[in-house]
Structure 1
Amino acid sequence: MAFNFTLPLRIVQGIFAIVVLGLTAYVANWWSGHWHDLSPSEVNFLIFSSVWTLLALAYLIIAPARFPNAAHKYGILAAEAITMIFWFAGFIALAVFLSDRVCFGRVCDAAKAGTAFAAFEWLFFAATTLMAVLHVYRTRNTGVTSHDPKVEMHQGV
């Protein structure tokens, strides 16, 4: 019996998204409070990526389990790939932003921790995106989109 790694990865992805959301929200709040200016767009983008991830995870977890018609294999692949790209762009952008700044204190530590957690989040989404690509590849000639059509019930005439 094979173990399905998808749900444990989804749980970790959700936890990491909440952690990054908290850390980057703290950085954004500190920045706007101390500099009386808008927080950096790099920080704001990671906040967006965290919220997007929570919404995407709702789709990626609930749709295959409860609404199989909405869980098309290309829809799942698109949600995975877009989320992976967002995390990659977000952690790279914040890492570059922090690399040329004089940075110290708690807010700097929170920004660096947010960058590290975002990098790991990207790795987790790279793994699940690879799993989605493999599923699409393996079912490319079968006509399978989301569910087994043999399970559908038809009334006899």
Structure 2
Amino acid sequence: MPTNLNTFILPVRIVQGVFTIIILGLTAYVVNSWSTPSNWYTYPHSPSQANFLLFCSIWTILILAYLILALARFPAAAHKYAILAAEAVTMVFWFAGFVALASLLGDVGCSRYWGVCRASEAAVVFGAFEWLLFTGTTILAALHVWRSRKTGNTAHDPAVEVQPAV
């Protein structure tokens, strides 16, 4: 029995977007604060792990724009392999980003009241949730590619698209 995922995908995309904006704000604060000299610490630059998580959030904004607009307004640009590749690359980026920053935080030994450390920890947690969301949508995209492999159809699955505004 086919299920209509239209009502499921748009809320997931909205949650992905909200988490991305939260992570963008947290990591921008972390990158800015870590590279600004203060009385407590002085680093010549922000750590690459925090910079990469900042990149992941910017990348995700662009990918979400592609995934929502291509499926809703430009169906010719919504090739099933392109969607799968965008989902998979974004999923891998989020996994690498939150694991790298979590590893750094374990090595740095954040103090209990250091605000940058707490913001970094929050970014790691939201990054892990973002990775889980993209893992789910990547699985859905991979299932669509797998199910439509014998038909030779390269178009997207209408059951997994965001409904265009009428």
| Structure-1-length-normalised TM-score | 0.90
| Percent of aligned pairs sharing the same letter | 61
Matched, 1:108 2:117: yes
**Which residue is 1:10 aligned to?**
13
| Deviations 1:64-85, CA, capped at 9 Å, x for gaps | 1111111000000000000000
CA RMSD, 1 decimal: 1.4
Q: For 1:1-157, what aligned pairs fall within 5 Å after superposition? A: 2-4=4-6, 5-34=8-37, 35=42, 37-104=44-111, 105-146=114-155
Q: Distance in 1 between matches of 2:5 and 2:34?
A: 44
- Tell me, yes or no, if the aligned pair for 2:52 and 2:97 is still in contact at 8 Å: yes
Q: Structure 2: any 5+ residue segments left out of the alignment?
A: 158-166
Shift of 1:143: 2.1
| Structure-2-length-normalised TM-score | 0.85
Q: Distance in 2 between matches of 1:87 and 1:36?
A: 25
Q: 1:33 to 1:128 in 2, by over 3 A?
A: same
- The one of the two structures with greater contact order (alpha-carbon pairs below 8 A, sep at least 6) is 2
Q: Distance in 2 between matches of 1:116 and 1:106?
A: 15
- Tell me, yes or no, if the aligned pair for 2:80 and 2:156 is still in contact at 8 Å: no
Task: Report which stretch shifted further, 127-136 or 95-104.
Answer: 95-104
**Which residue is 1:155 aligned to?**
none
Q: Structure 1: any 5+ residue segments left out of the alignment?
A: 149-157
| Structure index of larger Rg | 1
Shift of 1:38: 1.1
Shift of 1:147: 5.7
